[in-house]
Amino acid sequence: MTDRGGSKSTTRRGFLTLAGLGTVALAGCTSTTPAVLYGLTAVPELEVRRRRGVQVLVARPRALKALDTDHIAVVQEGQLISYFPQAAWSDALPNVVQAKIAEALQNTNALRGVGLPGDGLLIDYQLQSDIRTFALHTAGSDRGVVEIAGRLVNDKNGRTVASQVFKAEVASAGVGPQQAVAALDQAATQVLAEMTTWVLSKV
């Protein structure tokens, strides 16, 4: 496997190649169609003691081009980013995360309404977010790392109500796509559960 500049891989990156990992140019596509598509499991329903009479719009999360894709990312030593060639997310990662955030908020039954852009809701708050990392990290130890910065904005005046960074790391059982996705799924569940609780505490 080579890095984006075409240099030879290190021994560690060579091991990842044997596990089925391939390097992909950030602006390009894999040479073969992914054999398996992965999604994220639903966040467990949270216990809520009171309902809020507000409506929240979940904006599409922002992400750098390396993560604004359906490719499943692997961050190796030196921040070299690679992807699994035979596996992918079921949609572009920001779309997958956006849907799961909305689902988690809806499942609390604590808000008058939760929607996405284009739903036509008269909203009170916007939940904006940035996906900082959502990848299998292999430097030191193999682990799924999810970090998302959240910002809650009052839609009536555009002011930021609160902002917070949510991060979770879960050890991966291996460097194959199935193990990587399992670790990322657990990390994402932790992050989105914390984000959901945080939103409900601020509206």
Q: What confidence tens digit (pLDDT) does each residue in 62-110 have?
A: 999 999 999 999 999 888 999 999 999 999 999 999 999 999 999 999 9
Q: What does the pLDDT average to over 12-35? A: 46
Domain boundaries, the chain: 11-40+53-202
> For 149-193, what is each residue's pLDDT tens digit?
999 999 999 999 999 999 999 999 999 999 999 999 999 999 999
Q: Cβ distance 155 to 57 under 8 Å?
A: yes
Q: DSSP readout, 14-67?
A: HHHHHTT-B---TTS--SS--SEEE--PPPPPPP-S--EEEEEEEPPPB--TTT
Task: Find, among 169, 194, 193, 172, the residue nearest to 182 by Cα.
Answer: 172
Global confidence as pTM: 0.84
> For 36-51, what is each residue's pLDDT tens digit?
999 999 999 888 878 8
Decide yes or no: CATH 3.40.50.10610 for domain 11-40+53-202: yes
